[in-house]
Amino acid sequence: MLNCLSGKIVVIGFGNMGKALVRGLQCRNQNIEIYVCDRFELNPNEDYPRDIDFNKLTYLSYNDLKNVKSNLRLSEKDSVIFCVKPQNFLEAVERWKPILLGGESHPLVISILAGVPTELIHKYFSNDCPVIRCMPNIASTVDCSASALCASKRTSNNYLDRAKHIFDSVGKTWVVNEDQLDAVTGLSGSGPAYIYMIIEALSDGGVKMGLSRQLSLELATQTVLGAAKLVQETRLHPAVLRDQVTTPGGTTISAIHELEKHGLRPMLISAVVTATEKSASLAQLVERKIIKSNSDTFKE
């Protein structure tokens, strides 16, 4: 890990994902050199993650770009991570590209922007820098993200290794083909929302049957957490584990029958399919917007 992360890491955007990455990287790599570029000044009243060590973090201000450029030199050992919203991508590129790409420097560029293909990142940030896309999820904030990575066609595998080490700091990471990222978005990117609804519904069921709201919520949450951990640690198929708690003629099989009757399984499958298709359509929309924005800027 130390070899993969021996260079500087520049995080553009200090929202939830940017903060999660900084915290995770600092916790696992005490000597790592991290820079944060953001549109906003640090707010001492904001509730930042407690594990972030601001004494070991260099915050780059939009208001002092001349000083930033004179003090920040990047090379192929370094990494730049875009943690901005897709609609802010071009603004971030226009502001930071002249600062981060000087001379012959070709740092690794990593994007977590949904719907922005690697080739567009090459086109608007650099044709020469290696480019990787990542789709993490909200569980990054508690070091439990399910992240998927893909590299552009002109990016070598050693850069994938570096990116994987970065995102492993906030969870688990898989390498996929870029044409699979929409499905990743539909499954793990949006997936936490589906599970939140399941936890809420289980909790409501407990309340309906006479349990307090707090107890119901805690039982539902721990049940989901424990069930997931069993799948992860035993590596048994969920159907096998389900059979282990399904007593003939018992309560669980009666409940499973009810769930099947009301279509829980096809509803969740459809949710993943719908989110995947939406992600694909958003990708096309984002691309059109970026191209239009770039064209309008060129005309001006």
> What one-character DSSP code corresponds to residue 135?
E
Which contiguous run of DSSP H or E holds residue 206?
helix 191-208
32 is in an annotated binding site: no
Q: How far apart are CA 221 and CA 51, in angstroms?
A: 25
CA-wise closest residue to 60 among 46, 89, 40: 40
What's phi and psi for 57, nearest 5 deg?
A: -125, 130
What's phi and psi for 209, nearest 5 deg?
A: -90, 10
What's phi and psi for 105, nearest 5 deg?
A: -70, 130
158 is in an annotated binding site: no
Q: CA separation (Å) from 150 to 2, 93, 110, 193, 234?
A: 22, 21, 10, 24, 28
294 is in an annotated binding site: no
71 is in an annotated binding site: yes
15 is in an annotated binding site: yes
115 is in an annotated binding site: no
Q: How far apart are CA 112 and CA 127, in angstroms?
A: 18
CA-wise closest residue to 15 among 140, 150, 182, 189: 140
Q: At which residue do the structure tokens 């050199």 appear?
A: 33
> What one-character DSSP code corresponds to residue 40?
S
Task: Return all residues near 47 (Cβ < 8 A) that are at least 6 apart.
Answer: none
13 is in an annotated binding site: yes
Q: How far apart are CA 180 and CA 276, in angstroms?
A: 9
Q: How far apart are CA 154 and CA 237, in angstroms?
A: 37
What's phi and psi for 141, nearest 5 deg?
A: -70, -15
User: Tell me, what amino acid is at 71?
Assistant: N
Residues within the annotated binding site for NADP(+)? 12-17
Binding site residues, as ranges? 12-17, 71
Q: From the annotation, which residues make up the binding site for NADPH?
A: 71
